[in-house]
Chain A
Amino acid sequence: MEMHWHWLIVIYLFLGGLGAGAYLTSFAAEKGWLGSNSRLKKVGYYIAAPIVAFGTVLLVFDLGQGLYKPWLLVRLLLNFGSVMTWGVYILAAFIVVGLVKAFLVFKNKQAPEALGWVGAGLALATGAYTGLLLSVIEAVPFWNSFMMPILFVVSALSTGLSVTTVVAHFMEKQGSANIKENQVHLSLVAAELIVVVIFFGLMSLGAKGPVGAQSAASVVSGPYAIVFWGYFIALGLLFPLVVFVLENIHLKQSAQKVVAEPSLTETESSAKAQSGHQSYLVLVSDFSVVVGGLALRALIIFAALPIWDGTIL
């Protein structure tokens, strides 16, 4: 069977998660969940809404009528029973709230506490939506799994943290990278690996029938195996996992070393423990997390097989 959705949709779903994850990264940093003095407090806010908005523009290009009769797009708000309609509302609201929040952060103005939380809720909804859009399609067993939104949200958080880290490395002067951030990312990558194993395990075992197993096989051992094992598993998950673990050990050791030197004051020691710069290896692994996230979206879209292949015996 021919595919109906192609690269534009893949990139749109990927960017939706990436932007949502970037927002949540800065939100977490602002709340102090990524360690004190994090350098990720602003950058994620700046890039979140533009990333999602760019993805949405791509989607418009993919619509058969996007450039032909664009006024029809208003009707996308009509069917409250359609997940795609939910998505239009969620994305539109997220882009608006994201831009307002970014503007206030840029102006160093105190944004209302509620605004930040609403944005975080919408970001989570955006990430979940990209998976939910697929998971409600019963005629595509590979998509029709409750794991799909979970997988996409975890990947969104991970890729969002990565892209924010990379951009912050080049753009942000204030704050520093620290062990908390490293630990959060380590657990996200580990969680994604677990979700992926469960998802493909269940699919392969036929939890969604023979067609779901066939889709899974095309990814794990079929035509998409190179993208799956190479780009997604090795580059997107295992390589970053190893780098983050090594970085974690390194950061802990240097923290101990500092404690062993009593001449330093407490603030000095903690500042030294949180080494100011990300190592380049960590930056490379962040980049490969993002590539892995894109590969994941591509695999999920392209490996979709319909429940009926349109033939009879």
Chain B
Amino acid sequence: MDSMKNIIISRRKVLKAGAVATFALALGISPTVLNADTAQDAPKNPDQLGFMYDQEKCINCKLCAKACNDTNKWEEGAEWRRVLVGKEDSKNFLSYSCNHCEKPACAQVCPVKAYRKREEDGIVVQNPEVCVGCKYCMYACPYHSPQFSPDTGRISKCHFCYERQDQGNKPACVSVCPTGALNYGKLTELRKTSSGVAQLEGLPNPELTKPSWVIIPKA
């Protein structure tokens, strides 16, 4: 009699545990179904803005980063825009900041909703005032765009100079580029550049977050 009771309970337990485990499993499998459209296809938002960077024209003067810092007053330790130099003095450069992605992973994971994607132009704006400094976005962003300042204990990042843009000005970085290597515009237009790509070798697959940038790689 006693063993009978045990069996019934354990079966129920097994069923419940199984159901919960299945649920946990289902949650754990992140939906990585590949979409038919590639990152080079037209963006969902026809007014999405993006950066365009011509690797051939860049001379690594770093004026873009300097102008960004002058305009946006980076918090200690937070670099909104960087110019990378290729390994072994390859003379390959990459000036980049935030790609204002179509699927911004930062906004997805941020528990306090510090990120918002503007409907009018797709700019991803982060509000440092409400950031709690959990750094979850730093792991989520494949491009290391969210930057943490140990000084202020919070994240900040490139906001595409949206306030300047709202007043009809160009983003600070673009406005100072002496060679015209760095540009910006509507992504639908930028994507018409025949030699433009969304990924350099070694960089993250653009399918991850669908970055709003076009790179013209060195031939």
Chain A contacts to B: CB under 8 angstroms: 1, 4-5, 31-33, 62-66, 68-69, 72-73, 75-76, 78-79, 81-85, 88, 121, 124, 128, 131-132, 135-140, 143-150, 153, 304, 306-308, 310-313
Contact at B142–A124, with CB atoms within 8 Å? no
Q: Chain B residues near A132 (CB, 8 Å)? A: 24, 27-28
Instruction: Please pick, from B111, B135, B154, B202, the residue contacting A88 in the complex, using a CB distance under 8 A.
Output: B111
Contact at B202–A312, with CB atoms within 8 Å? yes
Q: Chain A residues near B28 (CB, 8 Å)? A: 128, 131-132, 135, 145-150
Residue of A nearest to B150 (CB): A64
Q: Chain A residues near B154 (CB, 8 Å)? A: 64-65
Instruction: Please pick, from B25, B30, B84, B200, the residue contacting A136 in the complex, using a CB distance under 8 A.
Output: B30
Given A73-B132, A75-B132, A312-B87, CB of A31 within 8 Å of CB of B9:
yes
A-B contact pairs, 15 of them (CB 8 A): A4-B135, A31-B9, A64-B152, A65-B131, A72-B112, A79-B110, A84-B111, A124-B24, A128-B27, A132-B28, A135-B28, A138-B105, A139-B141, A312-B93, A313-B86
Q: Which of A1, A65, A306 has the most CB of B within 10 A?
A: A65
Contact at B112–A137, with CB atoms within 8 Å? no
Q: Chain B residues near A68 (CB, 8 Å)? A: 153
Q: Chain A residues near B84 (CB, 8 Å)? A: 310-312
Q: A78-B112, A312-B93 are in contact. List 14 more A-B contacts (CB 8 A).
A: A5-B135, A31-B13, A33-B10, A75-B111, A78-B111, A128-B24, A128-B28, A139-B139, A145-B28, A149-B25, A307-B142, A308-B203, A310-B144, A313-B90
Cα-based distance from A251 to B143 in the complex (angstroms): 56
The smallest C-beta distance from B22 to any residue of chain A, in angstroms, reads 11
Number of interface residues of B (CB under 8 A): 53
Residue of B nearest to A144 (CB): B30
Contact at A32–B6, with CB atoms within 8 Å? yes
Kindly state whether residue B204 has any CB partner on chain A within 8 Å.
Answer: yes
Given A33-B9, A88-B111, CB of A311 within 8 Å of CB of B202:
yes
Q: Chain A residues near B143 (CB, 8 Å)? A: 308
Q: Chain A residues near B135 (CB, 8 Å)? A: 4-5, 64
Cα-based distance from A144 to B204 in the complex (angstroms): 15
Q: Which of A78, A88, A143, A308 has the most CB of B within 10 A?
A: A308
Contact at B132–A76, with CB atoms within 8 Å? yes
Q: Which of B27, B84, B155 has the most CB of A within 10 A?
A: B27
Residue of A nearest to B109 (CB): A82
Contact at A84–B32, with CB atoms within 8 Å? no
Contact at A307–B208, with CB atoms within 8 Å? yes
Kindly state whether residue B166 has any CB partner on chain A within 8 Å.
Answer: no
Kindly state whether residue B108 has any CB partner on chain A within 8 Å.
Answer: yes
Cα-based distance from A241 to B177 in the complex (angstroms): 64
Q: Chain B residues near A83 (CB, 8 Å)? A: 109
The smallest C-beta distance from B103 to any residue of chain A, in angstroms, reads 10
Kindly state whether residue B29 has any CB partner on chain A within 8 Å.
Answer: yes
Kindly supply a per-residue 1/0 record for chain B positions 1-22, scoring 1 wherever the CB is within 8 Å of any chain A CB and 0 otherwise: 0000010011001000000110
Kindly state whether residue B196 has any CB partner on chain A within 8 Å.
Answer: no
Contact at B24–A153, with CB atoms within 8 Å? yes
Cα-based distance from A132 to B26 in the complex (angstroms): 11
Cα-based distance from A78 to B111 in the complex (angstroms): 6
Q: Chain A residues near B30 (CB, 8 Å)? A: 135-136, 138, 144, 146
Cα-based distance from A62 to B135 in the complex (angstroms): 10
Q: Chain A residues near B203 (CB, 8 Å)? A: 308, 312
The smallest C-beta distance from A161 to any residue of chain B, in angstroms, reads 15
For the complex of A and B, list the 9 residue pairs with the smallest distance between their C-beta atoms, beginning with the closest: A64-B133, A64-B153, A75-B112, A84-B111, A146-B28, A139-B142, A128-B24, A4-B135, A146-B29
The smallest C-beta distance from B91 to any residue of chain A, in angstroms, reads 11
Cα-based distance from A140 to B110 in the complex (angstroms): 16
Kindly state whether residue B37 has any CB partner on chain A within 8 Å.
Answer: no
Kindly state whether residue B158 has any CB partner on chain A within 8 Å.
Answer: no
Q: Chain A residues near B105 (CB, 8 Å)? A: 137-139
Cα-based distance from A140 to B208 in the complex (angstroms): 11
The smallest C-beta distance from B14 to any residue of chain A, in angstroms, reads 10
Cα-based distance from A75 to B10 in the complex (angstroms): 42
Cα-based distance from A124 to B144 in the complex (angstroms): 33
Contact at A308–B144, with CB atoms within 8 Å? yes
Contact at A72–B130, with CB atoms within 8 Å? yes
Cα-based distance from A72 to B127 in the complex (angstroms): 12
The smallest C-beta distance from A56 to any residue of chain B, in angstroms, reads 13
The smallest C-beta distance from B93 to any residue of chain A, in angstroms, reads 8
Kindly supply a per-residue 1/0 record for chain B positions 112-124, scoring 1 wherever the CB is within 8 Å of any chain A CB and 0 otherwise: 1100000000000
